[in-house]
Structures are given as C-alpha cells and as structure tokens.
Structure 1
Amino acid sequence: MRKLVVSEFLSADGVMEAPHEWHGPYFDDDMAGAVSAQMDASDALLLGRTTYDGFAAAWPAMAGQPGGDHMNGIAKFVVSATLEKADWNNSTVLAGDPAAAVRELKQRDGANITVMGSATLVRWLLGQGLVDEFDLLVHPIVVGRGKRLFQDGLPRTPFTVVSSEMFASGVHHVVYAPRKA
C-alpha cells in the first residue's frame, strides 16, 4: 500500500501560508537534499483546489528548472467539489466520495502520494485517518500571521517521530506518523 505523505514548509509558529515570502534565506544544500528525496519518493500529488490552481499557474513555466520537470510530469489528483476540469499535465479531478477515492489511490501500485500546501485538504485527510506521515521542514522564524497547518477543530492526534534532523541553517526536518490506536 502506498503512503500518503504531507510535505510542508512551516514557520516556528506553524504558518504554512506563502512560504516563498519567508523560507528563502533558509534554503541550503541540506534542504535541497531533503526536498529532492521527498520528490524522489513520490510519484503522485494530491492537492486541494486552491493549491492546484496556484501550482498549475506557476509550474508549467518552470520546466527545466529544479523540480520543474518532476512537478509537471508527476500524476496529480485534485480534491474539489467545484473544479470540473483539470488542464495541467497529468491532472485528474477526483469525483464522487473523496475519502473513497483517496483510499483507492493508496491501494494502487506506486510510490508515495504527496500532499503539498492544501491546508484545508490536509486537515480533512487527518480527520479521515488517511495521512500516513507528515514530512515537515520547520524554519526558525516566527511569521506571526497566516494559515497554520494545525488549527482548532482537529481531532487529538498523537504522533510518533519517524526521523528528526537539524540543518546548519536552523531548519528542523522532522517526519511524524500519526500513532495508530
């Protein structure tokens, strides 16, 4: 069975919104290696509508740049009640029951399914018990405002630390797995 892995850049205060505004000074060879390993371990993206729209507008113009060929070539699945057609290369809108569709994707042969951004989707997936790991790059900066990964209303979810590494930049790369009851 494939793993569903949530991969996020986070600030120390849990903000995940607009990392392009704050994570640049911390992007070094260690982080590049971690991001590359995440991409190498995945052959599908699962995205919410807002993240999909942003990625579909940006990534096609980045072919040939770091990560561009991977992001443009990988299979992409979009969870949306309003999107009828996904035009970005290799994109599919999941129709019907999204929980059943994600469970079916996890049963297929292949590598990890990665979720990036997509805060609303991530919180819903966690509530449905569909997340296998959180692969987080926690930056040593307080942003002070913005969308946070974990917000009120989530079920209490204990985690097991799968791995933990501190980069020279101060970024903490930590992988958590929800602890099964």
Structure 2
Amino acid sequence: MTSLRGTMRAAVYTTYGPPDVVTIRDVPRPTIKPNQVLVRIHAAAITTGDARIRAWDIPSIVMSIPARLVFGIFKPRKPILGTAFAGTIEAVGDQTTALTPGDRVFGACDNQMGAHAEFIAADPEKNLRPTPQGISNEQAAALPFAGSATLYFLRNRAKLQPGQRLLIVGASGALGTIAIQYAKHIGAHVTAV
C-alpha cells in the first residue's frame, strides 16, 4: 500500500499487551532537522526488546521503574516500536553531506524507537552506517541489535582478551554468529555449540 503525501504506514501500539495490540495505521511522516536524513525503511528487526516493551515484560522490578519513566507509565510514550533497521536515504538535511538520496544504510535509533514504519528521521553520524555490498536489507537490519549486544557483553562486561577461551552456546543465532566473529577477531579461542 502506498503512503499518502505527508503520511506513512506504521505498526502502532497504544497500550501494553500481546502482539494483537499492534495495528497498521497512517501516521505523519517524520520531518528532518538540518543534521538528519530521512530513511525509507526496507527491513526492520523485531527484537526481544521490542517484544518485552510491547508486552511490558520487564525482567526485574528494579528495571521496571526506570523503564516506565522512559517508555510510558500508563501507556506507551512512543507508539511505534523498533530500533534496528535498513533502507535507503530518501532525503537529507541542509547540514548533511556524507550521504545522498539513494544510499543504502542500516542503523539503530536507540530508545527513540520508530523503526517499525515506512520512514525514520535519523542522525547519520550517530545512528547510521553504509550497508556493505552483498548484504541484504534483512541481514543489515539484524546487525545493530546483535552487534551492539555482543560488544556490550564480550567487550564491556566480560572484558574478553586475546588468548582467553570462550564457550558460545547458541552459536548459530544472531548474537552467537557475531560473538564468534568478534572473539576470533581479537584472538580468543572459541568453542561453539
């Protein structure tokens, strides 16, 4: 279905709950600031984070309170979920020179959400990277969530070092495949299950 001028289609939720609280609606198309670009989204990941926020399935009471403040106390503050996406540049702001319309990109929009829509406004310096040749939009959309989670746990939390041994359970999944590549890249010994 084609969007009307000035609007776009998006997966919207206005209450927390099961998957059927999400509906497809026409919503205003985002406008870009001078330092932003407008990305036409071709693929977006549905992550565990999206599912947990939509269902309000936060793993601990300690995290539930700050999460409510960020995402909405009684109803969702940001009605369009999605943080990881891939697509093409549709328009660029006046101060943006690194990207041009038609460029293929992938990225993540952090807690601002909004990737489960036809378009998203993004900061090309903070949120986007060029999609590598030979990578589909679907593959590129899976990279931000799995890649950032892998770096967080292996580099920041475990502080994995060259020569250390690492057992990766679930090595064929999104995080597992990236964890193998990261660990091998830094010189760790990997056992994959």
Higher relative contact order (CA 8 A, sep 6+): 1
- The structure with the larger Rg is 2
TM-score by length of 1: 0.27
TM-score by length of 2: 0.26
